[in-house]
Amino acid sequence: MNSATAMSAPGPATVRLALLQTGIELFGRDRVRDELFPILRSAVVRIRPPERVAISQQKIRGYKWSQGRQKREAIQESVIVREMAHARGPMTVFVHVPLASEQRMRSLLRAIGYWGQSSSLTSCLGVTNTPPVPESVQRRSRCDPFSRAW
Q: Which helix (H) or strand (E) holds 44?
A: strand 44-48
> Does residue 116 or residue 34 have the better pLDDT?
34
Question: Which pLDDT score, from 0 to 100, does residue 137 have?
Answer: 63
Per-residue b/e over 35-59, b at no fewer than 16 CB within 10 Å? Answer: ebeebbeebbbbbbbbeebeeeeee
Give strand ranges (E) for 68-146: 73-88, 92-96
pLDDT (tens digit per residue) in 46-88 = 988 888 888 888 888 888 887 766 777 788 888 888 888 888 8
* Residue 6 burial (CB count, 10 A): 15
pTM score, two decimals? 0.69
What value does the mean pLDDT of the chain take?
80
| 149: pLDDT strictly greater than 50 | no
| 124: pLDDT strictly greater than 50 | yes
Out of 5-14, 100-109, 138-147, pick the least confident: 138-147
Instruction: Find the helix packing angle between 12-27 and 102-111, rounded to 10°.
Output: 100
| Phi and psi at residue 58, to the nearest 5° | -130, 135
Domain ranges of the chain: 3-52+90-136
